Amino acid sequence: MNINEIIGIYFSPTGGTKRIVECAIQALAERFGVPCRTLSYTTPADRLQEQHIPSDALVVWGTPVYAGRIPNKTLPFVDQFIRGNGNPMIAIAVYGGRHYDNTLSEMVLKAKQGNMKPIGAAAMVSRHVFSQTLSKGRPSEEDLQQLRNFVNQVQIDRTDDLLVPGEVAPQTYYTPLKQDMQPAKFLKSKPSVDVNLCTRCGQCAEHCTMGSIRMEDGLPQFEGVCIKCQACVFHCSTHAIGIHDEQFLSHIQMLEENIKACRPCEFYG
């Protein structure tokens, strides 16, 4: 088929997945000599934008890994944005070093359900959003060059099914663990703000992926669903926001103590 446009679609609360998707689509744009553009479904404002995927576009879709899967609260937006006309699609799962588990297999399934043709997939390592040290410095320039090399050789007109690791129809999620290796229960925990550090800038509310932060008298009020995406923490320039739940912090310590190996990126296709 003739490729006349490259479209990158992503969910990227702290910018890591966005950076990786942009790297891939820029390499593909150079390969085919066509323009590229992005569609984000990260924030409520992003999800209001009009999206149109022409039948002659090659799609690169990136998502971070949450509990070994596509973040479950984003699935309605996935169904909204991953809709094509038989478009070839490259799936990119971005994870912090533990594992991507069933994410790629779920992405392949969702792409097929959205009438896209998976032709390639990558599991890319990026700094874990819970930790300042876990997978620090990833993706490296070497990682990104491997991604460029991969998308430059992926077969666009493949007719066979793309095979990736994981359950064909994923049902299970990873259970986060505490330092004692018992389940960590922090699903309902939410961020809090240090009023002495807060500058009342409102960046946390603007970047909240679930639209769950309301500003009142200049201070953020954390209401509604929190998916621990760390967007509010990442975009707070004064470090006034954090999640201080003991089980959440114990999970971070477990990750930092047990995930020592520097995982390679993986490519399929």
What does the pLDDT average to over 155-174? 93
* pTM beyond 0.85, yes or no: yes
Whether residue 260 is predicted with pLDDT greater than 80 in this model: the reply is no
Q: How far apart are CA 103 and CA 266, in angstroms?
A: 13
Q: What is the pLDDT of residue 1?
A: 82
Q: What is the pLDDT of residue 22?
A: 98
pLDDT in tens, 199-228: 999 999 999 999 999 999 999 999 999 999
The size of the chain, in residues, is 269
Q: How far apart are CA 230 and CA 201, in angstroms?
A: 17
The structure tokens 């699935």 sit at: 75
Is the Cα torsion angle 166, 167, 169, 174 positive or negative in sign?
negative
Whether residue 34 is predicted with pLDDT greater than 90 in this model: the reply is yes
Q: How far apart are CA 225 and CA 212, in angstroms?
A: 6
Whether residue 261 is predicted with pLDDT greater than 80 in this model: the reply is no
pLDDT in tens, 96-134: 999 999 999 999 999 999 999 999 999 999 999 999 999
Question: In this structure, are residues 8 and 38 in contact, taking their beta carbons and an 8 Å threshold?
Answer: yes
